[in-house]
Amino acid sequence: MIIDATFWVTISFFIFLGVLIYFKVPLKIKEILEQNILNIRNQISEAEKLKEDAKNILAEHEKKISNSKDEVKEMINKANEEAEKNVTRVSMEFHNLMENRKKNAEERIKQLKNQAIKDIKNASVFIAIKSVEKLIKNSLDKSKLDKIYSSSIDETKLALKKKSS
């Protein structure tokens, strides 16, 4: 039997395996690998939970965005309606104000016209009285003139009272 190097390598290999088994190195390697596998599984599970949470948060935010868009549309519609109502109301108020001003102006014009007519009548009466007075002074004597003058003044006063009433 020849003991050569291969024999000693084989013997050394078996001794090495024995030492490894004696110190339970394969079990420790197995435990480390199982621990790593368990950590990886936990990380995958946690990542899946985070993914689900992210999906839920995304859905919530999309729902909020959708609701916000609806609220914005509703607010815009309400603002447009209010603006239209305000424009209509202001237009009506302006129209009424202009109508009132027009009526007031027409009434003022009517009053001024009536006053002008009265002033013209008064001036006409005054001129007529003065003319008659001059005419009578030139054509009548003093006693007749006084009688006619008194009666015409009384008649004129009565006529003016009747016209101004």
Q: Does this model's pTM top 0.85?
A: no
140 has a pLDDT exceeding 70: no
Q: Using an 8 Å Cβ cutoff, are 119 and 163 in contact?
A: no
Check whether 108 has a pLDDT greater than 90: yes
In tens, the pLDDT along 56-71 reads 999 999 999 989 998 9
Confidence tier at 161 by pLDDT (50, 70, 90):
confident
Average pLDDT over residues 32-45: 96
Average pLDDT over residues 22-38: 91
List, in order, residues 6 or more apart from 164 with CB less than 8 Å away: 118
Q: Decide which of 132 and 113 is more confident.
A: 113
Task: Look at the chain and count its residues.
Answer: 165
Task: Give me 126's structure tokens.
Answer: 């005054």
- State the pLDDT at residue 141: 64
